[in-house]
Structure 1
Amino acid sequence: MEPGEDLAAALLEALRAKGLTIATAESCTGGLVAAALTAVPGSSDAVVGGFVTYSNAMKTRMLGVPESVLAEVGAVSEACARRMAEGAARESGASLAVSTTGIAGPGGGSAEKPVGLVFIGAARRDGPTEVQRHVFPGDRATVRAATVEAALRLASGMLAAG
């Protein structure tokens, strides 16, 4: 079973019940959120696609994240996660989009942005955007798996709220 598969199945069921779709925009998870969603049989009726934007240039080119955001606060930030989610919803046409950006480790951390720091965004194409900040303990695989689960939970919460 894939990480987050139960959460993914529940999210997909909720999307189907409301006639909505989802897209992903991922950096630190490198496609794992999309993988969790598409591991569920029948996911193609709710998952429209995903963007793996590991570099800043791809975040700008594919999702419209302003270069000024990346220069001023960096890719691992609330502002970047917000713009990634909003860009994924806009560019894909999905009803809902979820984004992940962070430092999975083992290197790359600093005092201000430690290894395990992750920002997760969820945006409704026709509504609000929410971003959560997490610091997950553990090695790279553990941080990435925790990020997938938190992203699926945030997306589910956005559906329940709206």
Structure 2
Amino acid sequence: MELAAPMTQDSRLQFRELLERHHGIVVGVARTYAWNPEDRADLAQEIAAQLWRSFPRYDGTRNLSTWMYRIALNVAISYVRDNGLRGRRDMPLDEGLHELADDNAVDHEREQHIRLLHAFIRRQKPLDRALLLLYLDDRSQRDIAEILGISETNVATKIGRLKQRLREEL
């Protein structure tokens, strides 16, 4: 395990603020790649640890969220590969849907579409899951390409193919 470079008190405070401000990236990636609550917690912790180890080398001229996504997705893909989580389906498909539903009225059709989308995402390879996560997070094709280390054209092609497969399945 790579040891973190010594950090100043200011750097530690800056990192903590960064993690608090962008915790949605860590949680979103963990939720996309691990469905069991314990696996999600472990993965989120591993992502945070890798961000900590990498923080001293962060280039402040680069986009912070792009840097975080790149690290989080690399950790998640490795975690799935190393821990055999790909086939596990411990999380009910509708977990988290209550957050999306209106407090007073449940839109069953919308809930069903969300369940189908979650199921579709789970069946995808890790790179395609990453593409979908970033696309659904309204990241630009340029950002997605930079995060995943592929060309913008490749991003557009892959997203188009994923949308087509999704339409065919729904």
Give TM-score scaled by structure 2 length: 0.28
Indicate the structure with greater strand content. Answer: 1
Structure of higher CA gyration radius? 2
Q: Hey, which of these two has a bigger chunk of helix by percent?
A: 2
The TM-score, its normalising length taken from structure 1, stands at 0.29
